């Protein structure tokens, strides 16, 4: 999959490499070719149109990074937009706070629902869950038996009862899951050749009865735009929460994978890459984009340049910290960066220089806390962000109201921020300050802790 598209894009970029600089003319020519390549890869025309528009706008609006050649600039933009089109980041399955979490697998006939139910049960059980499977396909005689066989092969339980009604079966299965302490119930549903009212009505009822946390649309990647169209219709009727794209191991042109997110607004959560039960993988937009562009060398150059830009920013921040110019606005930027990077704790624990700073080991980044702090800072005026000293009582009340927090929380943030500045000031004069002058901070975009 993606080979053809990948080849074509690489040819387009290769032609651009000969160009000395990026002009409107050669950019337009490249865009035309990219458009054709995407359409030939069976990407939905609306998605292609949006994509080309976005790339053009970015190419025009961007400050020219002198570190990049014209071809590299375009590749960078195309890569960023591809990732956006694929959903930006990995979308994970969600679980209910009140087990059992119910996941409903829906889709057209032969798309891979039953196989995927087995694969998913296996994946979840390896992650420490205890899934129960049930087939509510009462129409095809062998359908429930097919799932039972899969359950036996995997050594995982499948619920069955002599009921002839899908809703009754589903209810009984959920009761059984609750009674036997199973935390996830996977419901394999009947497929139809075409979307019809009867099927949809049944799925709607199942959804109403089970209140599933996930309604996963199982789509066959080999069917291209048909998969996209049916995903769209299922979503309209049923409100799907994600897509599992099967048969990604086939030689489809990839259009479905590239369009489904944009058309339905729902993320691809998993992909099936073979008939075996271990052939189910999380969907990583960035990796897929890199694979499509297939230019390991160019992409790594781009990443390095991006890192040095971040590095420069990081050095600027470090200087500000040491010279006590670190404003609330800088603080907010740093928090946003942090969120991108993940657990601070593990990063810091790798740096011996920070051993002496006591209590650091317990620094834990709490998503919600960051969100709250960012919201508080967002509610300040630019003047307040630049100079925290002017934030008096009435301003604090206004900020709390604006950010949906309390005055206490605003006070706490300001206190912490002031302490951090004070600490940095004393450090900059002391031993650590001298040491830090020489010490090169190894994580671009992330600040040494205060």
Ligand X SMILES: Nc1nc2c(ncn2[C@@H]2O[C@H](COP(=O)(O)OP(=O)(O)OP(=O)(O)O)[C@@H](O)[C@H]2O)c(=O)[nH]1
Interface ranges with ligand X (CB under 6 A): 107, 109-115, 137, 143, 191, 246-247, 249, 272-275, 279
Measure the CA–CA gap between 2 and 259, rounded to whole angstroms: 13
274 binds, among Mg ion, ligand X, none (CB under 5 to 8 A by kind): ligand X
Q: How many CB atoms lie within 10 A of CB 338?
A: 17
Nearer to ligand X by Cβ, of 36 and 142: the residue is 142
Smallest gap from Cβ 114 to Mg ion, in A, equals 3
- Which residue of the chain is nearest Mg ion when measured via CB? 114
Nearer to ligand X by Cβ, of 274 and 294: the residue is 274
Nearer to ligand X by Cβ, of 116 and 403: the residue is 116
Assess contact for 211 and 167: CB atoms under 8 A.
no
- Report if residue 213 touches Mg ion, rule: CB under 5 A: no
- Report if residue 114 touches Mg ion, rule: CB under 5 A: yes
Could you please report the per-residue DSSP string of 107-172? -STTSSHHHHHHHHHHHHHHTT--EEEEE---SSTTHHHHHHHHHHHHT--EE--S---HHHHHHH
87 binds, among Mg ion, ligand X, none (CB under 5 to 8 A by kind): none
109 binds, among Mg ion, ligand X, none (CB under 5 to 8 A by kind): ligand X
3-state helix, strand, coil in the chain (%, to 5): 60, 10, 30
Nearer to Mg ion by Cβ, of 145 and 345: the residue is 145
Pick the piece of the chain touching Mg ion (CB under 5 A) from 113-121, 168-176, 215-223, 231-239: 113-121
Measure the CA–CA gap between 348 and 338, rounded to whole angstroms: 12
99 binds, among Mg ion, ligand X, none (CB under 5 to 8 A by kind): none
| Structure-token pair, residue 122 | 């296996």
Smallest gap from Cβ 105 to Mg ion, in A, equals 9
Query: Chain-centre distance of CA 123, in angstroms?
Result: 19
- Report if residue 246 touches Mg ion, rule: CB under 5 A: no
| Phi, psi torsion values for 274, nearest 5 degrees | 170, 175
Assess contact for 212 and 104: CB atoms under 8 A.
yes
Smallest gap from Cβ 94 to Mg ion, in A, equals 24
Assess contact for 121 and 131: CB atoms under 8 A.
yes
Number of residues that bind Mg ion (CB under 5 A): 2
Measure the CA–CA gap between 398 and 90, rounded to whole angstroms: 37
Smallest gap from Cβ 107 to Mg ion, in A, equals 9
Smallest gap from Cβ 85 to Mg ion, in A, equals 30
DSSP state of 192: -
- Which residue of the chain is nearest ligand X when measured via CB? 191
| Three-state DSSP state, 64 | coil
Pick the piece of the chain touching Mg ion (CB under 5 A) from 114-122, 125-133, 285-293, 350-358: 114-122
Nearer to ligand X by Cβ, of 37 and 215: the residue is 215
Smallest gap from Cβ 172 to Mg ion, in A, equals 19
Nearer to ligand X by Cβ, of 108 and 302: the residue is 108
Assess contact for 204 and 238: CB atoms under 8 A.
yes
247 binds, among ligand X, Mg ion, none (CB under 5 to 8 A by kind): ligand X
Measure the CA–CA gap between 209 and 384, rounded to whole angstroms: 51
Smallest CA-to-CA distance from 308 within 66, 45, 28 is with 66
Nearer to ligand X by Cβ, of 272 and 445: the residue is 272
Which of left, alpha, beta for 298 (phi over 0: left; psi -120 to 50: alpha)?
A: alpha
Element housing 209 (H / E): helix 197-210
273 binds, among ligand X, Mg ion, none (CB under 5 to 8 A by kind): ligand X
Nearer to ligand X by Cβ, of 213 and 246: the residue is 246
| Structure-token pair, residue 293 | 């562009």
Smallest gap from Cβ 175 to ligand X, in A, equals 24
Q: How many CB atoms lie within 10 A of CB 300?
A: 11
Nearer to Mg ion by Cβ, of 150 and 377: the residue is 150
Pick the piece of the chain touching Mg ion (CB under 5 A) from 1-9, 107-115, 369-377, 380-388: 107-115
- Chain residues binding Mg ion by CB under 5 A are 113-114
């Amino acid at each position: 999959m993606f080979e053809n598209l990948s080849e074509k894009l690489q040819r387009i970029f290769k032609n651009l490499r000969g160009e000395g600089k990026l002009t409107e003319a050669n950019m337009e020519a490249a865009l035309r070719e990219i458009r054709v390549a995407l359409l030939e890869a069976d990407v939905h025309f609306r998605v292609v149109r949006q994509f080309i528009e976005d790339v053009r706008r970015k190419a025009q609006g961007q400050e020219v990074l002198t570190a990049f050649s014209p071809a590299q600039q375009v590749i960078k933009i195309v890569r960023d937009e591809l990732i956006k089109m694929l959903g930006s980041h990995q979308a994970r399955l969600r679980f209910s706070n009140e087990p059992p979490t119910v996941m409903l697998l829906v889709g057209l006939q032969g798309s891979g629902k039953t196989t995927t139910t087995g694969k998913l049960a296996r994946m979840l059980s390896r992650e420490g869950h205890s899934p129960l499977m049930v087939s509510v396909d009462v129409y095809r005689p062998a359908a429930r038996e097919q799932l039972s066989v899969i359950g036996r092969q995997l050594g995982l339980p499948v619920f069955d009862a002599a009921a002839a009604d899908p809703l009754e079966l589903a209810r009984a299965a959920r009761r059984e899951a609750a009674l036997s302490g199973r935390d996830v119930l996977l419901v394999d549903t009947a497929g139809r050749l075409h979307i019809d009212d009867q099927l949809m009505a049944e799925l709607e009822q199942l959804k109403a009865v089970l209140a599933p946390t996930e309604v996963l649309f199982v789509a066959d990647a080999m069917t291209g735009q048909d998969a996209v169209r049916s995903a769209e219709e299922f979503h309209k009727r049923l409100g799907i929460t994600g897509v599992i794209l099967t048969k990604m191991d086939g030689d489809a042109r990839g259009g479905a994978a590239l369009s489904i997110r944009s058309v339905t607004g729902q993320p691809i959560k998993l992909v099936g890459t073979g008939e075996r039960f271990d052939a189910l993988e999380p969907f990583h937009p960035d990796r897929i984009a890199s694979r499509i562009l297939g230019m390991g060398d160019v992409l790594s150059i781009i990443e390095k340049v991006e890192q040095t830009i971040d590095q420069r920013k990081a050095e600027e921040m470090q200087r500000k910290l040491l010279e006590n110019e670190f404003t609330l606005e800088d603080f907010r930027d740093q928090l946003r960066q942090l969120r991108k990077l993940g657990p601070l704790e593990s990063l810091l624990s790798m740096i011996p220089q920070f051993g002496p700073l006591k209590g650091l080991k317990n620094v834990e980044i709490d998503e919600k806390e960051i969100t709250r702090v960012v919201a508080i800072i967002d509610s300040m005026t630019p003047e307040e962000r630049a100079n925290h000293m002017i934030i008096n009582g009435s301003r604090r009340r206004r900020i709390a109201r604006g950010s949906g927090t309390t005055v206490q929380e605003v006070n706490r943030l300001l206190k912490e921020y002031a302490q951090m500045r004070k600490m940095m000031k004393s450090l900059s004069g002391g031993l650590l300050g001298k040491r830090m002058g020489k010490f090169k901070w190894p994580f671009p975009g992330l600040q040494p802790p205060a």
